[in-house]
Structure 1
Amino acid sequence: MLGEERITTYCGLDCAKCDYKEKYNCGGCVATKGNPFHGKCELASCTISKGKRFCGECEKFPCELLNKFSFDKEQGDNGVRIENCKKLKNEFVKEGREGLNPVCYCGLNCDFCFLGQWCGGCRSDYNCCSFATLFEDKKCPNATCCNEKKIKGCWECDELKSCNKGFFKNDNAFTMKAYCLLIKKYGEQVYSETIKNAVANGVDYAKDFDALGSTEKVLEALEKYRK
C-alpha cells in the first residue's frame, strides 16, 4: 500500500520527535498496534476498527475525538497532529494520481471533483472514493462492473442508457450519463477539456450540471463549452 513506511502513528503525531520514545522504551503507536507506553489508545482503536491506516484517511476527519485529543489543554498539540494528517494525506493523493487518467469509470473527472484533495481516484493505488465507502466491500459498483467487463469506462458499455448500477441509481444519474455520452462521442481528452473550459467560465462542476435536470440538457450545456 502506498506510503506504508511513512505512517508511524494513527493520529498524526511524530513518533521520531516524541519525548517518551526513549524515556519509556516505547515501540511506537503503529508498531504496537495502538498500545504504546501508556496503554491502549482510544484514537488508535477507532482507526483500526474502521480499517484505516491513520486518522487522515477517515471520512469523518477531523472528528470530534481527534479534535479533543489535539486541543486538550494539558496533553494537546494545538492542532499539529491534524495538520500532519492533512499533509500526509495530500502527499499520498498526489503520488497516487501522478500520471493517471483522471476520468473515473462512471464519467466523473477527478481533477474537478470536490473530493479531489482527499482521494487518489478510482484508478489509482490510493482510491478513497467516498461513494465506494457506502458499500460493504468498499468498492464502487461502476468500477467493479467495468473491470469485470474489461472496459475502460461506462461509456463503452451497451447498457449505459438503461443502467441503474452504482452512481446511476442517484438522483443526478442523468449528469453522469451525459458525461459518459460525451466521452463516447468525442473521447476522454475532449471531455476533460470541455469540463476545464466550463469551470474556467464559472460553472460549478459539482452543482450546475445537476441543476439542469436531464441528460439532454446537460449534453446541450456541455456542447457550449466544447472547443
Structure 2
Amino acid sequence: MIAYCGLNCSKCDAYLATKEDNEAKRKETAQKWSLMYRHEIRSEQIHCDGCKATGLKFFHCNNCDIRKCCTSKGIEHCAACEEYVCETLAGFIKLAPEAGIALEKLR
C-alpha cells in the first residue's frame, strides 16, 4: 500500500504493530522513533491503518501536509500531481529517499 508521499505503509512499523495488535511492537516502535525523531512518542500513539484508510492514523500522519494536499486535490499520490515535485515533497524526499524512488516508478 503506497501512501500519498510514496512510502510503503505495509512496511511501516506503526501499521504492522496495529495490524498485528502487538503491544510489544508498539513499545519498540515508540522507543525507536522517539530516538530517531528526537520527540517523545508513546506506545499509545502507535496505531495506524494506513495513510489512505479511513481508520486510525499515527498522530503525525493525521497532520501530514503531503496527505492533506493530495486529499484536497483528489489525487492518489504525489506522482499524479501537476506540481510534482513541489518544495514540500522535495524536502520530504531528502528525509526519505525511498519515497522518491517509489513515486518515480509511479510516474
Name the TM-score class by shorter chain.
Answer: 0.5 to 0.7
TM-score, normalised relative to structure 2: 0.63
Partners of 1:41 and 1:29 in 2: how far apart?
A: 10
Instruction: Letter of the 1:32 partner, please give it.
Output: T
| Residues 1:65 and 2:59 are matched in the alignment | no
Amino acid in structure 2 at the alignment position of 1:30: K
How many angstroms does 1:32 deviate by? 3.4
In the alignment, the residues of structure 2 paired with residue 26 and residue 59 of structure 1 have an alpha-carbon distance, to the nearest angstrom, of 29
Asked if residue 13 in structure 1 is aligned to residue 7 in structure 2, the reply is yes
Contact 2:47 2:57 in 1 (8 A): no
Task: Compute the TM-score of the two structures, normalised by the length of structure 1.
Answer: 0.31
Q: Which runs of 4+ in 1 moved over 2 A?
A: none
- TM-aligned CA deviation for residue 25 of structure 1: 2.7
| Higher mean C-alpha displacement, 61-70 vs 35-44 | 35-44
Residue by residue over 1:163-221, the C-alpha shift from the partner in whole angstroms, topping out at 9 and shown as x without a partner, is: xxxxxxxxxxxxxxxxxxxxxxxxxxxxxxxxxxxxxxxxxxxxxxxxxxxxxxxxxxx
Give the secondary structure class of the aligned counterpart of 2:105. Answer: helix
Of 19, 36, 51, the residue aligned with 1:29 is 51
**Structure with greater proportional helix content:** 2
Amino acid at match of 1:19: D
Give 1:18's aligned amino acid: C
- Where 2:53 maps in the other structure, the secondary structure is coil
Gaps of 5+ in 1: 1-6, 90-227
The amino acid across from 2:53 in the alignment is: A
Considering only CA atoms, is the larger Rg found in Structure 1 or Structure 2?
1
The residue that corresponds to 1:43 in the other structure is: 66
Given that residues 12 and 55 in structure 1 are in contact (C-alpha distance below 8 angstroms), is that contact kept between their aligned partners in structure 2?
A: yes
Count of aligned pairs: 77
